[in-house]
Chain A
Amino acid sequence: MVAPALRVVRCGGSSLHGARLVFSADSKYLLCASGDFVKMYSVATEETLRLMGGHADLVTGIQLNPHNHMQLYSSSLDGTIKLWDFMDGIPIKTFTVGSKLMALYTIASCEDSVFVVIPKRDERDTFQLVSVKLTKAAGQDLEAKEWSVILDDVDASTKCTAFGREGIYVASVKECNLQVYFFKQKELNRFSVRAVKKKSGNNQFTCVVCHPKEDCIATGHADGKIRLWYVNFHHKKEYTYSTLHWHHDTVMDLAFSVEGTSLLSGGVESVLVLWRNESGCQKDFLPRLGSAIEYISMASDGTLCCTLHTDNRITIINSNLRFAKSIQGLIKSVNVKTGLVVDPRTKALVLNGEPGHLQFYCLQSDQQLFSLDIVQRQYIHQAGLNQTDLVKVAFSAQGKWLATVEEGEVAEPELQLKLWFYDEETQSFKLNTRINMPHEDHITDMCFRDMDGLEDDSLILVTTGRDCVFKVWVMVEDTDPEAQQSVSWSCDFVGSYHNYQAMSCCFSEDGSLLAVSFEETVTVWDSITWDLKCTFCHPPGKIRNICFGRLTSSKYLIGATDHGFLCCWNLLSCALEWSAHLNISVLQPDPLSEYIAAVSWLSKESSLFVFKPNEPRPVYIQRNLCRERIQLAAFIPRDEPETVGSEKYLWLQRSQLFFLTDTQELLTLSTKSLQERLTLSSKQLAVEEGLHATPFSLLLGKHRQLQSQEDTDLGKILVHNKCEQDSPAVKELMQTPAHVLPSASFLCPIFINSLLFSKENKSVEEVADEVEMESEKTEDDSDEERGVTEIEQGDTSPMELLGEITCKLSKSQEKELRKIRKINYSWILAF
């Protein structure tokens, strides 16, 4: 059997900033461009319903087809426009334009053409707005070479061009110029504002929108002003404008309400401003939306609007400017300083989220589980402020303790080390100890002594700092029994080595040794007596990363240096075992096996090396992992070991490797082939026939799934028989016409009863076990592809059990229901 090659799968975090979000015509779905894909969210449940892929490069524009609201145009940098049926997720047509498409616009009055912004031939950085005729020929892949230039020299950004009411004119801004083109008159008007450069910024245009009913154009400027232009468009020289000013920084986007009565604006301040009338004296605010507002879009019926933020979060806002929901996947933070950490409790990925917060990101559902406020200070959204942010995070082995370091720099570095205790009652972390200025200078690394067995009393935290020391923190019990808090943390030992800066630290698997790297030297300390045991060094270059081997190779210490060496030292002989010339940027040991993954950055490509410390030859090499530079990596333990096809991929058996690139996209490696993925995703779509995935519909979906599975499974007749009458109560409930159903209060106990486990049903359960095994395997597969397309699947096995048990339980109730049904029918017939 030939093992399938490992594929790099994107599983979250791609940028949503390609284009404005688009609401579907009924405002139930939200469409957005996400990297190379188009994503569809449900507004009601915030779930990702569909992921439409097909573009080969970044999607730059999405627009509903004005003539068919079930269809969607999308444009991409790869030079194609695709027409989708987004309800079914099927690409209908692909039009190849041939040059990079920067933005896409559609208007209702143009029958068969769309407008795109493309780069001008032979000139760099100049773009033009063209209208592209989309041929109506049959076939999927069509050429769309027929285009005509409408405006020259426009800005590439999709925000800088807007179409006026009924498509009469188009307005476009670039730098200090506003140009308006009338289609009928074929007339071009140009206006400009005087360029003013101030300390606070210039008055260049940043965005433009057109009033949906009147001849009015709103433009946003880099100095925070909004200008409303009432132009007598027919006379070139006459124009008037009024100014609205609230933003102190760039106006990022503007949007008129559907009737044009109010204007929404947003900017870096992360405040959504609603201007009620043109004078600007009546305005409402929705403050503290989390991060800078990138795009604002309105639903066509005006009930909702949504903002897309720079950190990839979508906020849905009611028409009365009330916060309704937010859709958040992997929150993009300015700088992931904490690294990728795995929460041992939830198996969630933990990293910097919103400024000052720690996000717990669930890989399975591509959703943020929760966000823990670490800094607990108001964040001011203003450019150029150096505010306190989270820089380091460490979890203890069982997730009971969390240590965080935050850093701010106003006059001098301001550090805080905080230790959080997991409170079982509230199910969240509670601040236990706060240490001001744990080190004199920046903290470079931090780790807990990871000992599963004896966590409580032997828990030790080590921090290393640029102030040339490492510090050991231990829990001290408060001797006073009447004190409120029983434990707190305090410093136990301070170690240093020749006044070198301590760069990183790491405990051995059994916790007996601590390795601390001091610039060029690695020192190994006894963790009980805090004696210096031995030192290693590999002279050219400072040590970048260190880690101990695990399990059988626990006698090795691995280190990566700045000058491109990967060294492996034997702790027993205190000698260098082997070294390799590799420029390692990420070194990540698997917590469950002895494999270590190293990612190198060489000649603009990232390569992955997986090796065991006891042999210098890598187990697995993958060159050219991705285009971007890989910043961080983490092994996430699998819930159950995966069966891997070949020897080569044994290292993927216990845990899965995730990478975070510098554009903050989350990647993983999968052994599954592409086909498997597709079939799986299409299967899931069956569940989504209904509009919303309510718990009830999901439950029904499970029943249906189970049934179809059983039907194919002819071998298990016994179980098959049982499942023919799969949850009759529910079936009856569904089949009986609604108007003859008894009252809901009568049906409810029957339905609830059908969900209960019965005690006398043990034997059925045992029989069912076999089936479960089968189904679990398929579940497992789908687990692998998590996060890419699927909606939340959850743990289905109890559900399946449920289905099997209900059949026995509800026989009497079934009879009852039938009786009712019969009676009711006769009653109807009498009429």
Chain B
Amino acid sequence: MATYKPLAVQAIPKFGDAIAQDTLYWRGYKTPVQIKEFGAVNKIDFSPVSPYNYAVTASSRIHIYGHYSQEPIKTFSRFKDAAYCATYRDDGNLLVAGSEEGSIRLFDLSGRAPLRQFDGPTKAVHVVGFLSDKYRIFSGGDDYSSDLWDIPSGRKIISYHEHTDYVRCGCANKVHAGVFITGSYDHTVKLFDARTKNSVMTIEHGQPVESVLLFPSGGLLVSAGGRYVKVWDILKGGQLLVSLKNHHKTVTCLCLNSSGQRLLSGSLDRHVKIYSTTSYKVVHSFNYATSILSLALSPEDETIVVGMTNGVLNIKHRKPEERKENSEKKRQPAYRTHVKGKTCTPKREDFCASKPVKNILRKYDRLLKSFQSSKALDAVLEPTIRLHTPEVTVAVMQELHCRGTLRSALAGRDEKQIDLLLTFVSRRVIEPRFTSILVTVADMITDIYQPVVGHSAVVDRQFLKLHEAIGKEIDYQEELLEVLGMMDTLFATFAKKTVTYLEDNKSNGLTETIQTNTT
């Protein structure tokens, strides 16, 4: 036997961004902390070990910030000119940085003076980094070369002069010790292996490469340059996997989140976009005040740090997870007796006698079930439903219309209620999904309350408003039709002439019939 079926409210697919898990996740950051640096922030690097300090390279200084401190806990400032690309080693003990004057300096985090200074490049070194064996450093600079340095001896191991323009970015392979890549303004990304004399692979990005990134597995390479972010499959010989064009200015920095599931890109257009690495769709994006030069994400995604061209460092911390407070509540004895026996899990041989599920109906459903049309309509004209879920109100009206009781539900109302009804109708009647039923409702209201027009100023005003709303809508529709007509003529001229032999074929059947009939 059937139970009462609650009213089905037509859900309309929501246009625009649906609130996805991602949105919720990336929204879960506090309001940013801003720190003013001395110049454009060209690199931010998180220490890979706890407490996850981060090194910020701006102008001629390298600041080390702690997790929540707004003052640097350490500063390296022995650069004559701008410092570049301060990068932590995997164990978080050493830091290497390039500089405008061409030297590469290696710092111990506990000391102040550089441990080593690698001299050799004649021009600015924009990119430095440790290889994953910890004893070698790669660098790239404005002298078009990519070099490899030995830390213990402090000497250059090998130098590749393959790029034909400034080398501006690089990245070491985390899995294979001798492998690193550099990207250059000559539009290429080159893959080097320390064991060989020449580059192993060259990838044509197409624009000056601003940033490169290797996936933790080392199989995928992401390059950013111009407005494009491109993902390449190294294992397939540098095949282009996907090309993303979601920024409208040069993409300056790339970053992966801790799980490797999301790719972040920052750009001069003041946006940080977050892509899913499975679908390469933008799942979220952040807005910043000025153009972004550098970007880093702490392990566990606890902090997003963004450096801007105007020297502002923007730090966002994650909100602490909301704890469920149920566990902390004191259990009262009454509750315990109430719960008694409910926690029992049935064993396999037990017979389960289920209690009939009591389905709780909404108020309007209860009223509809007992055929109280007027009250049901009253129930859905309550402000909470009327304002937030107008589709419920309209669905009830539709249902009442189906039952043939809409007129009696609308009739017999006082001034206040008519005012309310008319406000609702005149506001919603222009929404296409509600139009058909609300036109009927408006019709009925005018029909029913026509005799009392002129008795109440409030109702009269509402009628005028309704009139105005409908008039506007008609004008709008007319305009739309005009546009449609114009477009039709345009399309008609573009469309090919359809084949005309169809017409001839039409008589075919007829003649055949005659033939068969006569034979």
Inter-chain contacts of B404 with A (CB < 8 A):
382, 384-385
Residues of A within 8 A of B513 (CB): 538, 567, 576, 579
A480, B279: Cβ atoms closer than 8 Å: yes
* Interface residue SS majority, chain B: helix
CB distance B402 to A288 under 8 Å?
A: no
Q: A290-B2, A411-B437 are in contact. Are A538 and B401 (CB under 8 A)?
A: no
Is there an interface contact between A567 and B436, defined as CB atoms closer than 8 Å? Answer: no
CB-nearest residue of chain B to A315: B1
Contact flags B4-38 to A (C-beta < 8 A → 1, else 0) = 11011010000000001100000000000000000
Q: Does A323 contact B (CB under 8 A)?
A: yes
In the complex the two chains form, is B403's CB within 8 Å of A385's CB? Answer: yes
Q: Assess whether A763 is interfacial by the CB under 8 Å rule.
A: no
Q: Does A795 contact B (CB under 8 A)?
A: no
For B437, give the chain A residue with the smallest CB separation: A411
Complex Cα distance, B512 from A538, in Å, reads 9
List A contacts of B259 (CB < 8 A).
none
Chain A residues closer than 8 Å to B50, beta-carbon distance: none
Bound-complex Cα distance A323 to B510 (A):
62
A288 near B509: Cβ-Cβ < 8 Å: no
The residues of A that contact B439 with a CB separation of less than 8 Å are 411
In the bound complex, what is the Cα–Cα distance between A573 and B78 (angstroms)? Answer: 92
B505 within 8 A of A: yes
Instruction: List, in ascending order, chain B residues with CB within 8 A of A538's CB.
Output: 509-510, 513
Q: CA A373 – CA B4 in complex, angstroms?
A: 13
Residue of B nearest to A380 (CB): B403
Q: Per-residue CB proximity of B394-422 to A under 8 Å, as 1/0?
A: 00001001111000000000000000000
Q: How far is the CA of A315 from the CA of B517 in the complex (A)?
A: 58
Given A410-B398, A436-B10, A481-B278; A288-B502 close (CB under 8 Å): no
Point out the residues of chain A lying under 8 angstroms from B368, CB to CB.
Answer: 378
Q: Does B440 contact A (CB under 8 A)?
A: yes
Q: Which residue of B lies closest to A532 (CB)?
A: B502
For residue B404, give the distance in angstroms from its CB to the closest CB of chain A: 6
Do the beta carbons of B510 and A378 come within 8 Å of each other? no
* Complex contact B5–A377 (CB within 8 A): yes
Closest-CB distance, B11 to chain A (whole angstroms): 9
Report whether B505 and A535 are in contact in the complex, using a CB–CB cutoff of 8 Å. yes
Tell me if B338 is interfacial: C-beta within 8 Å of chain A: no
**Interfacial chain A residues near B329, Cβ < 8 Å:** none
* CA distance in complex: A377, B3 (Å): 11
Asked whether any CB of chain B lies closer than 8 Å to the CB of A289, the reply is yes
Contacts of B502 on A, CB cut-off 8 Å? 532, 535
Which residues in A have their C-beta under 8 angstroms from that of B276? 482
CA A811 to CA B35, docked complex, whole Å:
91
Question: Does B512 contact A575, Cβ atoms closer than 8 Å?
Answer: yes
The residue among B436, B440, B505 with the most chain A CB atoms within 10 A of its own CB is: B505
Residues on the A chain within 8 Å of B7, using CB: 377-378
Q: A288-B1, A288-B4 are in contact. Are A576 and B21 (CB under 8 A)?
A: no
Residues of B close to A521: CB separation below 8 A: 506
A578 beta carbon closer than 8 Å to chain B: yes
Whether B508 sits at the interface, judged by CB under 8 Å, is yes
B8 with A376: CB separation less than 8 A: yes
Asked if B516 lies at the interface with its beta carbon under 8 angstroms from chain A, I say yes
**Given the complex, which residues of B lie within 8 Å of A482, measured CB to CB?**
20-21, 276, 278-279
The contact of A410 among B281, B369, B401, by CB within 8 Å, is B401
Q: Quick one: which of A315, A387, A411 contacts B436, CB cutoff 8 A?
A: A411
CB closest chain-B residue, reference A326? B1
Q: A410-B398, A412-B436, A479-B279 known; A288 and B3 CB under 8 Å?
A: yes
Tell me if A686 counts as interface (CB < 8 A to partner B). no
Complex CA gap A578/B4 in Å reads: 55
Q: In the complex the two chains form, what is the Cα distance from A112 to B336 in whole Å?
A: 72
Smallest Cβ distance from B359 to chain A, in angstroms? 13
A576 with B279: CB separation less than 8 A = no
Give complex CA distance A649, B274 in Å. Answer: 69
| Size bracket, chain A contacts | 35 or more
Complex CA gap A534/B508 in Å reads 10
Query: B403 — nearest CB in chain A belongs to which residue?
Result: A380
Chain A's closest residue to B443 (CB) is: A411
A408 part of interface (Cβ distance < 8 Å): yes
Contacts of A579 in B (CB 8 A): 513, 516-517
A757 within 8 A of B: no
- List B482-519 residues whose CB lies under 8 Å from chain A: 502, 505-506, 508-510, 512-513, 516-517
With CB as the reference atom, state the residue of chain B lying closest to A388. B402
A408-B369 Cα distance, complex, nearest whole Å:
20
Residues of B within 8 A of A323 (CB): 1
Closest chain B residue to A286, Cβ basis:
B1
Q: Which A residues lie within 8 Å of B437 (CB)?
A: 410-411
From residue 386 to 402 of chain A, which have CB atoms closer than 8 A to chain B?
Answer: 386-388
Also in contact, A411 and B8, with CB within 8 A (given A536-B508, A537-B510):
no
Kindly identify, within residues 510 to 539 of chain A, every residue whose CB is under 8 Å from any CB belonging to chain B: 521, 532, 534-539
Q: Looking at B20, B403, B517, which has the most chain A CB atoms within 10 Å of its CB?
A: B403
**A481 — which chain B residues lie within 8 A by C-beta?**
278-279
- Closest chain A residue, CB of each to CB of B365: A378
Interface membership of chain B positions 122-161, coded 1 if the CB is closer than 8 angstroms to chain A and 0 otherwise: 0000000000000000000000000000000000000000
- Interface bits A286-315 vs B (CB < 8 Å: 1, else 0): 001110000000000000000000000001
A75 to B370, CA, bound (A): 43
A535 to B398, CA, bound (A): 43
Q: Which of A408, A480, A567 contacts B509 (CB 8 A)?
A: A567
Chain A residue numbers with a CB within 8 Å of B3 are 288
Q: Does A569 lie at the interface of the complex (its beta carbon under 8 Å from any beta carbon of B)?
A: yes
Instruction: Tell whether, in the assembled complex, residue B506 and residue A535 are in contact, meaning their CB atoms are under 8 Å apart.
Output: yes
* B367 → A minimal CB distance (Å): 13
Max chain A Cβ within 10 angstroms of own Cβ: one of B2, B4, B7: B2
B402 to chain A, nearest CB (A): 6
The answer to whether A718 has its CB under 8 Å from any CB of chain B is: no
A289 x B1 contact (CB < 8 A): yes
> Among B5, B281, B402, B440, which residue has its beta carbon within 8 angstroms of that of A385?
B402
Closest approach, in angstroms, between the C-beta of A802 and any C-beta of chain B? 25
Known: A482-B20, A576-B509. A411 touches B401 (CB 8 A): yes
Closest to A371 in B: B2
A574 within 8 A of B: yes
Note all chain A residues with C-beta closer than 8 A to B517.
Answer: 579
What distance in Å separates the Cβ of A563 from its nearest Cβ neighbour in chain B? 12
Closest Cβ neighbor of B440 among chain A residues: A411
Chain A 477-491: CB-based contact to B (< 8 A → 1; otherwise 0)? 001111000000000
Beta-carbon contacts under 8 Å, A453-499 to B: 479-482
Of residues 132 through 177 on chain A, the ones whose CB sits less than 8 Å from some CB of chain B are none
What are the interface flags for A536-572 relative to B under an 8 Å C-beta threshold, 1 for contact and 0 otherwise? Answer: 1111000000000000000000000000000101000
Instruction: Look across to chain B and name the residue whose beta carbon is closest to the beta carbon of A317.
Output: B1
Query: Restricting to A566-621, which residues have a CB under 8 Å from any CB of B?
Result: 567, 569, 574-576, 578-579
| 0/1 interface trace, chain B 167-200, chain A, CB 8 Å (1 if under) | 0000000000000000000000000000000000
CB neighbours (8 Å) of A386 from chain B are 402
For B2, the chain A residues whose CB sits under 8 A away are 288, 290
Given A288-B2, A385-B402, does the pair A578, B516 have CB atoms closer than 8 Å? yes
State A289–B2 Cα separation when bound (angstroms). Answer: 7
Q: A410-B402, A569-B509 are in contact. List 11 more A-B contacts (CB 8 A).
A: A289-B1, A388-B402, A410-B437, A411-B437, A436-B10, A479-B281, A480-B279, A536-B508, A537-B506, A538-B510, A579-B516
Give 5 CB contacts A-B under 8 Å: A378-B369, A411-B439, A534-B505, A535-B505, A537-B510
Residues of A within 8 A of B (CB): 288-290, 315, 323, 326, 373, 376-378, 380, 382, 384-388, 408, 410-412, 436, 479-482, 521, 532, 534-539, 567, 569, 574-576, 578-579
